[in-house]
Structure 1
């Protein structure tokens, strides 16, 4: 990757009509392989600028720019793109500040409720898209859709990194036969349902709050999928705590806002919650044990407890309880 002086030179070239860029402030956050900087200019500008430097290590990294334009076209609040240098793999985007939904986690529910509702309003624009009506060109711009193969990949990610790598359990043995069958039933069922578009990593640190409005970030993984996957990602986010009553209130609010049947949505929500929490546990185990990011391990106990509750809440999922051990 370019060093700081090279990045400043690239910035001056990419933003020739802006005041001279003078400083870079590194932003350290999350488990991404990308680098983020807050830019300082020699005089004030009408909007702040964040510089994102990406690599090709992940296939979704270069999809950030087309995803931004797609979401903006759907009416979703996302940062503006000021410039993109594909050769240098640098993107200059609007600085929306550093206050995310996660920052409100200790606030009373009366304060958080409208912020969560604003967040759900934004993502509902994505969910309203009929994925079956998308063109071949549309699909090519996005990551692989949530089909049976992708659900299976997520499940294997969980089995490899959490169940085997972190917990030391071998799921190839006969005692896990029913669990393996349940995983197959889960992915087949989810893959059979009609899809909209999903954010894919819809959690509290990927929503910025500015003047009471919600702005989505880190959405380069947008793809066809189930709205309930995003809902489970947000409402069961291991980074924050929501009560059962608060989750139920938000689900009911979303169903009313989008005109969906709450009972049918809730069942799919539970199934997607199992899928999402398994993926999250695989990620926490992989990041902490293999990618030198040990702080992610602190989220494992909460995710395990929430996944256990989800498993117990649906007949299809109870056979998966042995994957979590005693």
Structure 2
């Protein structure tokens, strides 16, 4: 059976008539789709691999519809016969979220949000004309049943994990009331479903929507709520207000008659709440159940976002049991449960991370406390046994791509980080000074080096910790052969 890179190379050759110079795996998203950048002599493409064939076919069909309407979305250039792999044009690496985080709340960034909202209005209203709703992945419309599904998603994957006591029937009654209230919106057009700044690409000053395969018919308010209330974007109250006004201006220019703005904004607040709860459900599933660190780290931001909403917004409907639970969820004890400590200049903890070769032995810990962790990487397929990688290391991109794409390295490291994070947080709280973490493999050149590098990155990004990184067998990397007798 062909590997994913081999399948990408074949499809690229069929489409472009040439073999890729390089295939680069892109960072994972929140979905199960895998993305790759395909480098050709004069251009690059993006390949998407996804075993959900219906999702791929829906994306292709929706993309074709929007492209025909001259709307800014990527084009599907080719798809394999199995519908598991497709190529699209490359819109670069820079999302609206990337620009916001790099540049801050500048007038130029504000202008990009305006462009994004103008694009959204076009996608929703102009894209609605002759839209193939029969190709939607789940429901064709975000009606009461879909709203209740989102609320139950939040209940099962987040609320119930908190183990709070509540009246189940009263909560379900509130869900029913909220669902009925929100389905009475006047304007139902195409709903992107996941319109947020990380799904908006910025290329040469223009903006593009890249994630719309989950779309369906629904209220205009949902998508604008998704963008303006994205927790990680953390837009100011002033920006939220002015950008909502700008969006309504854009919509007014496209609708047969202007919006009734008071009614629209009242129901908008209800959709803000639905979106905030749906996001918490997703973070609960990906973080608390699948143990993905990025989503765990996002939970405090989402709870703070919900807390702000409860303090500053009203929906125009009373849901007493839901309101009570939401206020309990955003109280200090729950927020503290999900708090991730960050190191500062006064934090004494220093983490020493070593890659090593088992031929040379485990590095000694010369500190007073000793101890720490030793992880044996020899259960991961060894790239050092492949000629193309023998004289490279875990710091080189081809080796990294091999480990990420053709081994269980990412699964292994996520499990490692679950373990060491417990110790890191305890050590930070108790004022400990040192922790040693060791990764060993046969030659100390490929698997252990990659694991050490990625773990150092994880600890710096998540905890802002100072990390001392040592590749103890580095002097032997080029000259150490991988013998045929070595089977791990």
Q: Same fold (TM over 0.5)?
A: yes
Q: Please give the alpha-carbon distance, in whole angstroms, between the structure 1 residues aligned to 2:301 and 2:204.
A: 31
Counterpart for residue 91 of structure 1: 86
Structure 1 residue 74: Cα displacement: 3.1
Counterpart for residue 218 of structure 1: 211
TM-score, normalised relative to structure 1: 0.89
Q: Please give the alpha-carbon distance, in whole angstroms, between the structure 2 residues aligned to 1:16 and 1:172.
A: 60
Residues 251 and 262 in structure 1, CA contact (< 8 A), matched pair in contact too:
no
Pair 149,86 (structure 1): closer, same or farther in 2 beyond 3 Å: farther
Is residue 2:120 matched to residue 1:120?
Answer: no
Deviations 1:201-259 (A, max 9, x none): 01111000011111000111111011110011000001211111100000111111221
Is residue 2:6 matched to residue 1:6?
Answer: yes
Q: Please give the alpha-carbon distance, in whole angstroms, between the structure 1 residues aligned to 2:4 and 2:51.
A: 16
Residues 159 and 171 in structure 1, CA contact (< 8 A), matched pair in contact too:
no
TM-score, normalised relative to structure 2: 0.60
Residues 105 and 241 in structure 1, CA contact (< 8 A), matched pair in contact too:
no
Is residue 2:67 matched to residue 1:72?
Answer: yes
**Cα RMSD after superposing both structures:** 2.2
Structure 1 residue 34: Cα displacement: 0.8
Unaligned ranges ≥5, structure 2: 253-258, 332-488
Residues 231 and 301 in structure 2, CA contact (< 8 A), matched pair in contact too:
yes
Counterpart for residue 136 of structure 2: 142
Unaligned ranges ≥5, structure 1: none
Counterpart for residue 181 of structure 1: 173
Residues 33 and 54 in structure 1, CA contact (< 8 A), matched pair in contact too:
yes
Q: Please give the alpha-carbon distance, in whole angstroms, between the structure 2 residues aligned to 1:16 and 1:212.
A: 27
Structure 1 residue 183: Cα displacement: 1.9
Q: Which has the larger radius of gyration?
A: 2
Deviations 1:27-77 (A, max 9, x none): 113211011000122x223xx2000011128x5343110111122233320
Instruction: Tell me the matched-pair count.
Output: 314
Counterpart for residue 204 of structure 1: 197
Counterpart for residue 188 of structure 2: 195
Q: Please give the alpha-carbon distance, in whole angstroms, between the structure 1 residues aligned to 2:30 and 2:74.
A: 20
Structure 1 residue 322: Cα displacement: 2.2
Structure 1 residue 184: Cα displacement: 1.3
Bigger relative CO (Cα 8 Å, ≥ 6 apart): 1
Counterpart for residue 271 of structure 2: 272
Counterpart for residue 298 of structure 2: 299
Structure 1 residue 264: Cα displacement: 2.4
Counterpart for residue 322 of structure 1: 324
Counterpart for residue 23 of structure 1: 22
